[in-house]
């Protein structure tokens, strides 16, 4: 297998356009958007654009809560002078009531300035979206225990980069746990006011395989630690480092016998590797992630869905073929026609909303996100993600996985 040259540094691949559009951070993994001139040279700032996420499709209102976790058993993998590993996680769950509980922002307010600054975005250009989840709302307990799904973000991303998929699952009755892999994520705010930014060295042709393998290995350890903390929460403990209160009714509602996981990009590789090493994860979905590590390529005995862009790069395709040959459980590979790597994140919906203000042409949008419309893509991804977890975590039949359908002609069943 030949290695690909890293394209994950936004300013190396998009130049000035990336510095004006921070949402493009998540898309440059494979987009290779060309250098662009600044969209405007006006003296005054362009008008603020209010970005919006599509509404969830399920019948449940959604609650959310963030927890600060500390693993004293290991040092931070990227800052070795820090003797313990810190994580932020965010739970999304069906709520019993939402009135009186504020909506959670897509970006934590404390991280907005750092996030914008790290991408060279002038303040006030974009108004970041709210989610559809209510902070601290009580857990809906009437249906008993609910299956749990973990989410792992892409390298340099963050736990909210796929909120459109995460909160949709919660609206259909799942408890979703999104993980911020600190010092791998771009910027993470901690309850004590600290802002932790990425500490992974610059990726090059020579070091990408080594560093990405190290990142996936660290993320798998993060994932297994989070699973331990979910068991503590289910038993009535509160693992939050600051002992901030958990939502009412959460205890005992996590069905830890039915755990799924999904991730985008390196989060997909993390999903496959974690499933190989930890049998607590019953089913997984890899959204266009290269399977960097031997554990990820080795597969498991449990179901995993490979859902990728239309044209895989050669190295990625080779890793998927290796997985396919070694995986012993149920497996399915789908391709989203007209997509790119970036199609599988919120940015595919959000960036086009700001395109006219920021002077991003239709051609550049197509280069970044492909021919498929972002709003259409999220409809499709939501449908197949829910169908997959419904089959393997809830044991409900769903004909959507049986083969091509006229409802979603953009989905190709590869094997």
Residue 52 forms part of a structural domain: no
Q: What is the pLDDT of residue 43?
A: 40
User: Per 3-state DSSP, what percentage of the chain is helix, strand, and coil (rounded to 5)?
Assistant: 35, 20, 45
Per residue in 375-408, pLDDT tens?
999 999 999 999 999 999 999 988 999 999 999 9
Residues 89 and 115 sit within 8 Å (Cβ to Cβ) = no
- Overall average pLDDT of the 221-226 stretch: 98
How many helices and strands (H and E) does the chain possess? 11, 15
Specify the range with the lowest mean pLDDT, choosing from 105-119, 305-319, 378-392: 105-119
Band of residue 47 on the pLDDT scale cut at 50, 70, 90: low
- Split into its structural domains, the chain has a count of 1
Q: Could you tell me which residue, 7 or 166, shows the higher pLDDT?
A: 166
Per residue in 62-109, pLDDT tens?
999 999 999 999 999 999 999 999 999 999 999 999 999 999 999 998
Residue 227 has pLDDT above 60, yes or no: yes
Residue 207 forms part of a structural domain: yes
Residue 314's Cβ-side half-sphere holds a number of Cα atoms within 13 Å equal to 5
Residue 256 forms part of a structural domain: yes
Band of residue 284 on the pLDDT scale cut at 50, 70, 90: very high
Say how many residues make up the chain.
415
Residue 1 forms part of a structural domain: no
- Domain with residue 335: its CATH number is 3.40.50.1820
Per residue in 119-147, pLDDT tens?
666 677 889 999 999 999 999 988 789 99
Residue 32 has pLDDT above 70, yes or no: no
Task: Spell out the SS3 assignment of 333-349.
Answer: EEEECCCCHHHHCCHHH
> Six-digit token pair at 375?
């709003």
Residue 175 forms part of a structural domain: yes
Residue 67 forms part of a structural domain: yes
Residue 106 forms part of a structural domain: yes
Q: Could you tell me which residue, 291 or 40, shows the higher pLDDT?
A: 291
- For 281, the domain range is 10-41+57-413
Q: What is the pLDDT of residue 19?
A: 31
Separation CA 316–CA 308 (nearest Å): 10
pTM: 0.90
Residue 335 has pLDDT above 90, yes or no: yes
Residue 170 forms part of a structural domain: yes
Lay out the sheet containing 281-287: strands in order across.
103-105, 130-135, 62-71, 85-94, 175-180, 146-152, 254-264, 281-287, 304-309, 331-336, 411-413
Separation CA 365–CA 386 (nearest Å): 28
Compute the mean pLDDT over every residue in the chain, rounded to the nearest whole number.
88
């Amino acid at each position: 297998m030949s290695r690909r040259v890293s394209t994950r540094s936004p300013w190396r691949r998009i130049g000035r356009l990336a510095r004006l559009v921070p949402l493009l951070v998540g898309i440059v993994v494979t987009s290779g958007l060309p250098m662009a001139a600044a969209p405007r040279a006006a003296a005054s700032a362009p008008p603020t654009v209010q970005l919006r996420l599509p509404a969830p499709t399920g019948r449940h209102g959604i609650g959310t809560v963030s927890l600060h976790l500390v693993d004293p058993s290991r040092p931070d993998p990227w800052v070795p002078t820090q003797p313990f590993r810190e994580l932020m996680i965010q739970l999304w769950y069906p709520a019993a009531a939402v009135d009186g509980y504020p909506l959670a922002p897509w970006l934590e307010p404390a991280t907005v300035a750092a996030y914008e600054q790290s991408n060279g975005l002038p303040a006030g250009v974009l108004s970041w979206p709210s989610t559809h989840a209510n902070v601290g709302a009580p857990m809906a307990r009437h249906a008993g225990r609910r299956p749990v799904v973990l989410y792992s973000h892409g390298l340099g991303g963050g736990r909210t980069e796929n909120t459109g998929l995460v909160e949709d699952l919660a609206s259909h009755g799942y408890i979703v746990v999104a993980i911020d892999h600190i010092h791998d994520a771009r910027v993470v705010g901690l309850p004590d006011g600290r802002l932790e930014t990425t500490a992974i060295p610059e990726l090059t042709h020579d070091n990408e395989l080594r560093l990405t393998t190290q990142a996936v290995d660290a993320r798998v350890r993060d994932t297994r630690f989070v699973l331990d903390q979910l068991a503590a929460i289910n038993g009535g403990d509160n693992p939050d480092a600051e002992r901030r209160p958990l939502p009412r009714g959460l205890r005992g509602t996590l069905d830890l016998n039915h755990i799924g996981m999904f991730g985008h990009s390196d989060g997909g590789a993390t999903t496959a590797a974690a499933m190989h090493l930890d049998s607590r994860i019953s089913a997984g979905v890899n959204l266009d992630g290269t399977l960097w590590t031997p554990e990820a390529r080795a597969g498991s005995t449990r179901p995993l869905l490979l859902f990728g862009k239309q044209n895989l790069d050669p190295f990625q395709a080779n890793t998927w073929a290796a997985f396919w040959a070694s995986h012993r459980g149920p497996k399915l590979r789908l391709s989203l026609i007209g997509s790119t790597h970036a199609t599988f994140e919120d940015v595919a919906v959000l960036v086009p909303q700001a395109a006219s203000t920021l002077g991003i042409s239709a051609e550049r949008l197509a280069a970044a996100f492909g021919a498929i419309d972002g709003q259409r893509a999220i409809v499709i991804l939501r449908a197949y993600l829910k169908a997959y977890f419904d089959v393997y975590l809830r044991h409900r039949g769903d004909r959507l996985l049986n083969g091509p359908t006229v409802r979603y002609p953009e989905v190709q069943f590869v094997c």
